[in-house]
Amino acid sequence: MTYFVKFIAFIFILLSANMSQAETPEQHTLDAVQRNYEKVLTYEADFIQKSYIKMMDKTQDVKGTVSIKKPGKMKWSYGEPDTQILISNGSTLWLYVPDEEQATKVPIESIYSSNTPALFLAGKGKLTQSFNVESVNLDQDPINITLIPKADDQALTRLHLFADKKSYQITGSTVYDKLGNKTEIRFSNIKTNREIPEKTFQFQAPANVEVLDYTKPH
């Protein structure tokens, strides 16, 4: 479960950032990205995700769509070859894999730990507490913000966050982990602050689908 979550939540990492450093061009950019994101209550987009798995020396590309509604509601639909749907209603997270006829249900709190950027989806983390800003590259479009985790026990080692140079809208990111894996995600056809029906974030397992429910005491 954490494999999927750590690559979908990073995009909102500036949600709770508390910026207080001296004003520089780089700091101005960070503040602008932060202000833009604070205005975004809903986020819809198409995406392309490229995952490099070092152990297999293999890269897998997948396309999909995403809908986000603050705080913490989301739906990620991944297409072939690894079709799956990830849905959160703010309290429960579902991972549904049609090809395996299996759905996994976990409490949302289980993914919010100091070891994952999923913290920031719920606004429970602070950028400056968990990450050092290594660099802000203003010479390219999109802008490239490089973040390094402060804690050694985090699974990821480096995070690149990308934002449009004019609008400061977040458009993607690249995550590197300790195993040498890399996951890139880029968004297109971005739409913000449009009404998204609540039913988008509800999930009912189809008949004959095995449900692994980790929300109940065992």
Between the alpha carbon of residue 10 and those of residues 100, 154, 184, the distances in Å are 27, 13, 11
Tell me which amino acid residue 72 is.
Answer: G
Q: How far, in Å, CA of 28 to CA of 21, rounded?
A: 10
The whole-number pLDDT of residue 196 equals 95
Burial class (CB in 10 A: 0-12, 13-18, 19+), 24: exposed
What is the 8-class DSSP label of residue 168?
-
DSSP character at residue 9: S
Fold entry, domain 2-213: outer membrane lipoprotein receptor (LolB), chain A (2.50.20)
Instruction: With cut-offs at 50, 70 and 90, classify the pLDDT of residue 3.
Output: very low
Instruction: Please report the pLDDT score of residue 154 as a whole number.
Output: 65
Tell whether pTM > 0.75: yes
pLDDT at 1: 41
The pLDDT of 38-65, averaged and rounded, is 88
Domain locations along the chain: 2-213
Question: What number is the average pLDDT over the span 125-146?
Answer: 80
Q: What's the confidence (pLDDT) of residue 111?
A: 63
Query: In the numeric block, which tokens belong to residue 211?
Result: 């449900």
Determine the Cα–Cα distance for residues 145 and 73; give it in Å rounded to an integer. 25
